[in-house]
Amino acid sequence: MSGKTNGNGDETFFRAAWDTVAECERDHDVMVETELTPTKRKGVWLFTAVAVEMRPGPMMARPIVQYKAEFPNSSNLFFGGFLFSATQKLDGLVHAYRQSEQSAPRVMGR
């Protein structure tokens, strides 16, 4: 880890969030798209992360799970911690979705 960090350790959380997204994409064969938009409340931002499954055919990209959260909130004072927490939650949702796919009964063709 770099010796240069700010007082709240955001750099460490940014790197951990980046690693979480990279692992989620690799482990679950998805692409993670993120968006940060201002809300109508001054100083409050909406973070959205979507896991998209890439498939061949006319509908090539299919969103499978989405996670949304506002920042700042009562759980996270610093953005780095918020971002890391959000990516962890998205990864958990993708993992649960993939597990439900595996346990779902398969319909056999005739």
pLDDT 10s digits, 5-34 = 455 578 999 999 999 999 999 999 999 999
* CATH number, span 10-102: 3.30.160
Neighbours of 18 (CB within 10 A): 13
d(CA 34, CA 50): 6
Q: In sequence order, which residues have a C-beta less than 8 Å from that of residue 14 and are 6 or more positions away? A: 80, 83, 84
Check residue 54 and report its DSSP letter.
E
Tokens of 56: 């061949």
Per residue in 33-49, pLDDT (tens digit) is 999 999 999 999 999 99
pTM (global) more than 0.85 = no
pLDDT at 56: 77
Domain assignments of the chain as residue spans, ordered by start:
10-102
* Residue 108 pLDDT class (50, 70, 90 cuts): low
